[in-house]
Chain A
């Protein structure tokens, strides 16, 4: 005897599966069976998921049971009407994607559960108003204990490095000289990477950068500083970047992909107190993506300031931005 066949699929009432936050998502789950079939439950779930190169993240925001009972042979339609969620918004990038899905599966005893999935786009209309605010600074101060441990470790590595250095000077052994150069080279690179930002900033008696939205589509970045060193050039860059973390086992890796970059260089060639203003045209977030942050998956808006100082390490400062669609008060949300 052949197994009874149970087909299940999701239909939307409209052909373009794009919905604005708050808009009703309407359609039906269609079930076709060719023999009497018992169904313990027919849940319909709405949820989002990230996919791409980063570790997956997601959440189910709604779940409804559409049916439980027995189907006689035939086709059944179970309509649904759900409010479109507000966030996160659909995003398709290179390393990071965020998609919303409707999924359903019929819980049929003693058989593989037939399943169906459909994706939908959650996006505000292009050109919709959005909010932009300056985010929390990414600059993280190390704890005092961490600093002390770092200094102790570096001192110990320096002391250990004296052994091959002493041997190299005493014996002039080429092996010892190469080993000693390698040791001190690596140690120097590590030490430089740690102290470079501090050294770069040490020549500024004051440094302040602020962002301000001057109109719906424009952003101004004001930089005030005072220094005795000659600053050759300052470049302000408005950037949107995908940052994802992938990995288990030995390969936990961070991947980055720049989605948008607008560099604005200014020649300075001066010392003393300076003030610069950079004006940016804001890209439409409906095109490049709104700010998104979930574990191991981020879409980051930021302004990066790069100061080229004469005969001194460059200073790089990052101002994170948060770009969100303007909330509509009447929209209900999923909890």
Chain B
């Protein structure tokens, strides 16, 4: 591969600004998510009661996406993500409403202390002691310890993905990345038609993360094809893309 690969073209020929199945900015997750529950209602409950909402499910199903989408409704609330390398003794800042991604990675003793600290932080906010709420993702069942700490627990198991739901998610992504003048009706057939989504659904089931990864690669292949077509039209001018 000693030849310098030519500069890849942008996504203009596909009617897009960027690959719709690439990474999304945190503040956009709220717009793109197709939630499994009414996040606005959950947000209201988090503001007004001693609630713990727990998103559970396997990897790649959308637990963290739901949690982040919920967090956009609480920009002032701390959000802590405990990565695979995070210490079980990581300091998690307490607040009247507290967000914790991968809560099972925190040591049980520190989790219980956090539950108490959140309730105390909530109590300082008003005399009715109705605040003090948690939003978590977890692979483990945290309900018993949350209930023991005095929380009402709402558990949402993120699993299962219908083809119709997948279509909705993909359409939102396409709209997000579309250039002016490119409509869903024109983008769908060329980029992500129903037979393609059916194949993806059959292959990956409800593993949305894997489906998005495969769709990302599919779009990159289409982009290469456009670049090759351009190359065939204007030999020797492949590098100089007309933006």
Contact = CB atoms under 8 A, between A and B. Distances in A.
Interface string A85-123: 000000011100101010000000000000011011100
A26 B171 CA distance: 34
Given A99-B17, A263-B2, 11 more contacts: A51-B18, A55-B23, A56-B23, A56-B25, A92-B10, A94-B8, A97-B19, A121-B241, A251-B60, A261-B1, A286-B7
Nearest to B8: A92
A69 interface: no
Contacts, number: 93
A146 interface: no
Contact of A288 (B5, B10, B83): B5
Contact of B10 (A53, A119, A250): A119
B243 A121 contact: yes
A259 B5 contact: yes
Main SS at interface, chain B: loop
A263 B126 CA distance: 68
B44 interface: no
Contacts of B83: 252
A283 interface: yes
B101 A248 contact: yes
> Interface extent on B, as a size class?
35 or more
A190 B177 CA distance: 43
B74 interface: no
Contacts of A55: 23
Given A126-B240, A260-B1, A94 B84 contact: no
B110 interface: no
Interface residues of A, number: 41
A260 B7 CA distance: 11
Interface in A1-57: 9, 15-18, 51-56
B180 interface: yes
Contacts of A251: 59-60, 209
Interface of B: 1-2, 4-10, 12, 17-19, 22-25, 59-60, 63-64, 68, 81, 83-84, 101-102, 137, 180, 209, 216, 220, 239-243
Contacts of A17: 243
B4 A260 contact: yes
A283 B2 CA distance: 9
Contacts of B6: 287
22 contacts: A9-B180, A17-B243, A51-B18, A52-B23, A99-B18, A101-B17, A116-B180, A117-B180, A119-B10, A119-B17, A120-B243, A121-B243, A248-B81, A249-B102, A250-B84, A250-B102, A260-B4, A261-B2, A263-B2, A284-B4, A287-B6, A287-B239
A99 B5 CA distance: 19
A310 interface: no
Contacts of B1: 258, 260-262
A246 interface: yes
B208 to A, nearest CB: 11
A56 B243 contact: no
The 5 closest A-B CB pairs, nearest first, are A249-B64, A283-B4, A51-B18, A17-B243, A262-B2
B223 to A, nearest CB: 9
